[in-house]
Amino acid sequence: MKEDLIKIRNEIDEIDSKIVELYEARMRMSERVAKYKIENHKPVLDKEREKIKLQKVGDLASSEYTKNCIIDLYKQIMSMSRERQYQLLTEKGQIQKPNFKALDELDFSNSKIVFQGVSGAYTELAMKEYFGENCDNFHVNTWKEAMEALKNNEADYAVFPYENSSAGIVAENFDLLVEYDNFIVGEQIIKIEHSLLGKKGSKIEQIKKIYSHPQAFMQCQNFVDSHKNLNKISMKNTAMAARKIKEDDDYTQAAIASKSSAEIYDLDILQESIQDNKENYTKFIIVTNQKIYSKNAKKISVCFEAPHESGSLYHMLSHIIYNNLNMNMIQSRPIKEKNWKYRFFVDFEGNLDDSAVINALVALKEDAVSFRILGNY
């Protein structure tokens, strides 16, 4: 039996050698195809040709099972072939870089910054960390209003919470990036430490209502669960919740907010660090209405809608894999007015000047139903 196994393995090795040889021969043919397309200014992706080819190779299979496997294999071979063609087209200057302007560095002098909330908001803390304590800024009530301020040139930059290490993404802001023609140019990560704040002289035993943002409630779930008698009331912002406690002047009300909010609104800290995760961080994005990026930018964010067919997401992500790019994040969001269909948000490492990045972006755009570069930062 052992000799039979050795013989089988030797035969597999021989077949694998032939497969490698044939694969390399096929890729050489792809290079010849690329040369023809360069000379004749033809697009790389020919969906009808690929559809016919997949049907043809599938029909060569001896069973339904192997037919499906062969089709999957050839989808990958075709994807790798396209990647090679994109590389050659890029080398010959046939593929243009994305229409973004590269800057040596972003200039924030004389810039006006907008953030959602009021004084003491975590977004304000992130803004000051990124732009400096004395940056020229103003605040609005909603994230949508911040996007509108950029659209109407009332602000040069806006700051938005994007993702929390405990509670996950801030879904509304993902959707707003799609809705508005604004772009990410930076990010700031800050540690989030929540405190329970009450009126001066109040005691935790007196509290009947807690005000805060839904994300803060999620990040303090253990504390909230251990005080089931308290009525939770959502606010647009943690600092707005703190301000309400000050304005209402009620011993039975409290807010989950930052320590700085306690100082700003002259409140007592009834309990510190009530978040579940003591290493609780939030990533904030810096957004502008200009298609710009810093020459030393290292991360790219894109969003796209994949074709509603088997394996489409897998094959689209292969453009990132085959260009040797490292993916940092993938999220999905429902597409409005398209029930059970989703838009994908992907972050990967790279710069818009990199040829591998350009190849990946062009391939993603060609395969997607819709595609957008959200920023390079």
Compute the distance between CA of residue 161 and CA of residue 184 in angstroms, rounded to an integer. Answer: 12
Catalytic one of 123, 238, 282, 288: 282
Catalytic one of 131, 284, 304, 345: 284
Compute the distance between CA of residue 25 and CA of residue 111 in angstroms, rounded to an integer. Answer: 56
CA-closest candidate to residue 212, choices 238, 186, 184? 238
Compute the distance between CA of residue 320 and CA of residue 307 in angstroms, rounded to an integer. Answer: 17
Compute the distance between CA of residue 181 and CA of residue 147 in angstroms, rounded to an integer. Answer: 9
Compute the distance between CA of residue 68 and CA of residue 50 in angstroms, rounded to an integer. Answer: 15
In order of 171, 257, 277, 300, 309, the CA distances from 215 in angstroms are 11, 11, 13, 26, 34
| 282 is an active site residue | yes
Compute the distance between CA of residue 365 and CA of residue 208 in angstroms, rounded to an integer. Answer: 53
Burial of 166 (0-12, 13-18, 19+ CB in 10 A): middle
Compute the distance between CA of residue 167 and CA of residue 276 in angstroms, rounded to an integer. Answer: 10
Task: Tell me if 293 sits within 8 A of 350, measured CB to CB.
Answer: no
Q: Looking at the chain, how many residues does it have? A: 377
Compute the distance between CA of residue 288 and CA of residue 147 in angstroms, rounded to an integer. Answer: 9
- The C-alpha R_g of the chain, in whole angstroms, comes to 27
Query: Is the torsion defined by CA of 136, 140, 146, 149 positive or negative?
Result: negative
- Would you name the residues annotated as active-site residues? 282, 284
